[in-house]
A and B are shown apart, each in its own frame.
Chain A
Amino acid sequence: MRFRAPAVGVLRIMPLDELTAIYHRASGQTHLVASPVPEILAALAPAPATLDELLARLAAGYDVVDPDAEALSARVAELVALGLVQCA
C-alpha cells in the first residue's frame, strides 16, 4: 500500500518549538504534533510512497532519531485516521 500526503495548500504548518501546529484546511482542524510527523509529511510531499520507501526517505534526508518500521507504521496509521495522509 502506498501513502499520499495532502495536495499542496491543504496543510498550513507552523513550527512552534519542539511541537508543530498544523492547520488542515480540508477538515478545519488543528493538530499539534511532534517529530517525526512533520518529517513524514515532508517526505511524502514529492510523491506517494510505501512504508519501506518512506523509511528510506526519512533515513536519507531527515534527522529522525532511529527510525524503525513498526513505529513508523503506527504513526502513519494515526495520520490516515486523522485524514492527514491518504492511502493512494
Chain B
Amino acid sequence: MRHVFSLRIGPVGFRVGADWREPIEALRALYDDYPKPHDGIPDFSVRLFAARRWRRWVRPSITIGGDYVLPDAAPLPLPLGLLAAEMGMNLQMALGQRRYLLLHAATVERDGRALLMTGVSGAGKSTLAALLMVRGWRLMGDEFALLDPATGLLHGFPRLVSLKNRAIGVVEQALPAGKFGPLQADTPKGDIRHLKPDAASVAAMDVPARAVAILFPSFGHAPDMRPVPPAETFVRLTQASTNYVALGERGFGALTHLVATVPTHAIDYPDAETAVAMVERLWEQAA
C-alpha cells in the first residue's frame, strides 16, 4: 500500500497501510515513540482503502479492511482517518486474537497490581482510566485487557484512549499538558478525541500485572458499591469478551480462575471525580 506505519502495542504488532497520507500521518504523530513489531513481523495487518479508485480524490471515504473484516462495515470520511485506523486495529483484535483472552475492559496498575474495569459502553471506563492515569496510575489499556491463559497475568495494550463527547472536556481539563489527537466531530459515536497514554505507561507496556480487583462501574447514579458474586462476574466477563468461545478450554480456565480469586464490585457514581475517589478508597481497603 502507498502509506504504511508499523507499531507494537503491548505484545501485539500491527501494520497499517492506507491509500492516503493523512491517516498514517495522524498515527505517526501520536504513536511516534511506540516500538516496532517484534522481528519486524506484525501480528495483524489493517488496510484503509478506497472502495473505488476515484474515491481516493472525490469525497474520499475510507473502507476498513485487513486480515479480518466485517462484511458490512460502513466507510468513514477521510477526516476520520485516525478513528478508522483505530477501529481497524480493534477489529483485528476482536476477530483474530487467539492467544490472549480479550476482555472489553480498561486496566490500570499501581505497585505491580492491576485493577480491571468493565461495563457497557458509556459506563465511563475510558474516562476513569484516563483520570486515574492523571493521578499516577499506569494505564494498561482503555479498551481491551489481555488475559494470558498460560500465566493468568494481564498484559498491557495501551493504545490511544478514546474519549467521547462530554468525557473530552473532563479529561482536557484534568490533563492540560496531555497529548491529544484532532477532535473528530460527528462520528457514528458522536464526538471523539484520542489521548496518548503518558510516557510512563508507554514505557512500561511490556510489563504484565496480576489483577487484584475487578470493577463494574456504572455512571449516572448516586454513589453505591456492592460486591458481585463470582458466577455473575463470570457471565458478565464472557459477555465482555470477543474471543471467549474461540479460546475454548484455555478461556474457561483463565476466566474461572480470575473470577474465583479476584474480588469484584459494582460501583455507581454520579460524576467522574466521585468515581476516582471511590476507586482509590476501595484500592486502599484491598491493599
Contacts and interface: CB of A to CB of B under 8 A. Distances in A.
A23 B252 CA distance: 7
Nearest to B229: A17
B74 interface: no
Contacts of B245: 28
B163 interface: no
Interface in B146-177: none
Interface residues of A, number: 12
B249 A18 contact: no
A19 interface: yes
B231 interface: yes
Given A21-B234, A32-B231, A32-B235, A14 B248 contact: no
Given A17-B229, A32-B231, A32-B234, A12 B259 contact: no
A32 B239 CA distance: 13
Interface in A11-38: 12, 14, 16-19, 21, 23, 25, 28, 30, 32
Interface in A21-59: 21, 23, 25, 28, 30, 32
B231 A28 contact: no
Contacts of A32: 231, 234-235
Interface string B212-251: 0000000000000000011100110010000011001100
Interface in B244-279: 244-245, 248-249, 252-253, 256, 259-260
Contact of A17 (B231, B238, B248, B252): B231
B223 to A, nearest CB: 26
Interface residues of chain A: helix, strand, loop or mixed (majority):
strand
B249 A17 contact: no
Contacts, number: 35
A23 B251 CA distance: 10
Contacts of B252: 12, 14, 21, 23, 30
B249 A23 contact: yes
Nearest to B238: A30
Contacts of B235: 32
Contact of B231 (A19, A23, A25): A19
Nearest to A20: B231
Contacts of B256: 14, 16, 21
B127 to A, nearest CB: 31
Nearest to A25: B249
Contacts of B238: 30
A28 B234 contact: no
Given A12-B252, A19-B231, A25-B249, 8 more contacts: A21-B256, A23-B249, A28-B248, A30-B238, A30-B244, A30-B252, A32-B231, A32-B235
List the 9 shortest-distance A-B pairs measured between CB atoms, nearest first. A19-B231, A16-B230, A23-B252, A16-B231, A14-B256, A17-B229, A28-B248, A17-B231, A17-B230
24 contacts: A12-B252, A12-B253, A14-B252, A14-B256, A16-B230, A16-B231, A16-B256, A16-B259, A16-B260, A17-B229, A17-B231, A18-B231, A19-B231, A21-B231, A21-B234, A21-B252, A21-B256, A25-B249, A28-B249, A30-B238, A30-B244, A32-B231, A32-B234, A32-B235
Interface of B: 229-231, 234-235, 238, 244-245, 248-249, 252-253, 256, 259-260
